[in-house]
Amino acid sequence: MHRIFSLLLLLSISGQGYAITTDLADDASPKLSLVVNQLPKTKLRNMASLIEQISQSQEPQTRDILQFMLDGELYFLKANKQVVRAQNTATKLYQLTDVLTEQSLFEVKKSSISKIKTNNRLRSTLRSIIAKIDLTNKNKQVRLQAVQQLLSSPSKASTAIITELIGNEQDQDVQALMSTTLSLQQLKTGDIDEKIAALTQLSGSLEPTVKNEIIRLLANLPDKELSTKQQNLRELLSSTLDEIESQASFYGAVETVFFGLSLGSVLLLAAIGLAITFGVMGVINMAHGEMIMLGAYTTYVIQLAFPSMIEYSLLIAVPAAFIVSGSVGILIERGVIRFLKGRPLETLLATFGISLILQQLVRTIFSPLNRQVISPEWMSGSWQINPIFSLTFNRLYIIIFSIFVFISLLTILKKTSLGLHVRAVSQNRDMARALSIKSNRVDAITFGLGSGIAGVAGVVLSQLTNVGPNLGQAYIIDSFLVVVFGGVGNLWGTLVAAMSLGLTNKFLEPLTGSVLANIIVLVGLVLFIQKRPKGLFPQKGRSTD
């Protein structure tokens, strides 16, 4: 009766419902536009049933409309009673969106629209209706999120919804989370027996809310004159808490290892090019850091040149950076370093000069400010393994990528004829030349290879830090220390050194803070090199200085 009455009213006002009335007659679920358009006229006390009607429509916009109402963004135009979503803009005007068609409308002043009112009771109804809609969504992620939402703000209504839906739930993850929510509610509100039962259910759950609830319960238990049951409960509570905490500290350690490995991979990438130029060729290249910087800027330029292909920019940038840094490296070798053969200290100074020139060049071309390199979609986000432990994709990819680079480099040095020549020249230049190896050509190519890999490291670093003229300087000392620590001329040593430095740094960090951790690692390395000047894995040989 009520519906028909309001329907008549509606017809008389808007006149757009003629065709719809017939639909309404043979369809059990009400047409969304009809019920929504009743919102402006409905009294607050009748609103609950109207919301119920809205929720029954199966339209895709239903959830959004309810959400807007919950968020207080649902208004109607005073002029024609059209229901709109109104968002406050910077200009103090309200941007309107048609809730049914989701089209942007015009901007109006506050005075020409009026809010569709809600109260607390309605809001909680809205919340549970939205939760219900989400919990029946086809997408697993949406369902998981909805349960998470309920878990963080448990209430009687949410318990009811979950109890209703848990039977229909197909997915194991969602179901597990649902039963955690139920158990948590039971733990909160049940009597002692129920609490104990809930606790056995909850053991092993890593949700932060569960932990907080256990801590709260423990604090609320009276200190003295506990009954046996209370005693039991307390023991159970503290043992569950212990279990949660030991799990948490385990995952914390795993996370630190992960961070350490990812820092180690960055160090490895930065140092491995140096391991070739310094370690294998014996040429000290202070401009190595600038090769890294050039790689990072190459990424920036590529993103600038192809703004529509951000997703693939890194894939283009890796070979491009290799070519850019590699050719600059070959230029440096041909132009400067080859004249300084056998004078390591002079080489050090000259390449340092080159690094200053390159830095200033970049500063002049790109300005001294940091440049923003965009992370593609697939690099962001994380892999959520459990509520307290997740691995970010960018770090994961970097670890994989650096190992890939390491293996390819190892293959080049061990399996190709170029690698054979490089090793021959590095072991005994004169003998290699006598065997008709063109040592000059090998030098240039090796230097290009090392520099090119530094460029690739720059692409990776552009995803982690700011791209600026000083990018390279931050890594040069670390890279040298990694190479020296690992043992010159030994790629495996470089790998071990980079990873162990990364891990040490990350394990020290929570104890000492990041700066002090850095200092401790530096001092430790300096002391280590005093003890073993040839590094972890010294090259065997009989040569002396």
State the residues that interact with another protein by CB under 8 A: 284, 336, 339-340, 344-350, 352-357, 359-361, 363-364, 477, 480-481, 484, 515-516, 518-519, 522-523, 525-527, 529-531, 533, 544-545
Number of residues in the chain? 545
Specify whether the CB–CB gap between 458 and 299 falls below 8 A.
yes
C-beta of 355: minimal distance to another protein in Å? Answer: 7
Nearest approach, Cβ of 300 to another protein (angstroms)? Answer: 20
Q: What angle in degrees, to the nearest 10, is found between the helix axes of 228-274 and 491-512? A: 140
Least distance to another protein, CB of residue 469, Å = 10
Q: In terms of CB distance, is 219 or 527 closer to another protein?
A: 527
Minimum distance from residue 348 beta carbon to another protein (Å) = 6
Distances (CA, A) of 277 to 489, 490, 539: 9, 12, 16
Query: Which CB, 264 or 487, lies closer to another protein?
Result: 487
Specify the residue, 147 or 484, whose C-beta has the smaller distance to another protein.
484
Closest separation in Å from C-beta 334 to another protein: 13
Tokens 């590095």 belong to which residue? 426
Report the alpha-carbon distance of residue 473 to residue 27 in Å, rounded.
Answer: 71
Query: Longest Cα pair distance anywhere in the chain, in angstroms?
Result: 106
Which of residues 237 and 291 has its CB atom nearest to another protein in the complex?
291
Q: Which long-range contacts (CB under 8 A, 24 or more apart) does 192-196 make?
A: 192/229, 192/230, 192/233, 193/229, 195/233, 196/229, 196/232, 196/233, 196/236
Q: How many CB atoms within 10 Å of residue 396?
A: 16
CA dist 109 and 95 (Å) reads 9
- Nearer CB in complex with another protein: 36/476: 476
Q: Would you state the structure tokens that stand for residue 383, as one six-digit string?
A: 């892999």
Residue partners of 375: CB distance under 8 A and separation at least 6: 394, 463
Cβ atoms of 58 and 29 within 8 Å: the answer is yes
Smallest gap, in angstroms, from Cβ of residue 286 to another protein? 8
* DSSP sequence for 241-288: HHHHHHHHHHHHHHHHHHHHHHHHHHHHHHHHHHIIIIIIT----TTH
As a whole number of angstroms, the distance between CA 478 and CA 470 comes to: 14
The minimum distance between CB 496 and another protein, in angstroms, equals 19
146 vs 350 by CB, closer to another protein: 350
State which residue, 314 or 358, has the beta carbon closest to another protein: 358
Nearer CB in complex with another protein: 15/342: 342
User: Which of 360, 358, 329, 322 lies closest to 459 in space, CA to CA?
Assistant: 322
Nearer to another protein, 94 or 480 (CB): 480
Q: How far is the CB of 444 from another protein (least distance, A)?
A: 18
Integer Cα distance of 72 and 419 in angstroms: 68
If the CB atoms of residues 92 and 531 are measured against another protein, the closer one turns out to be: 531
Closest CB 507 distance from another protein, rounded Å? 18
- For residue 138, the minimal CB distance to another protein (Å) is 54
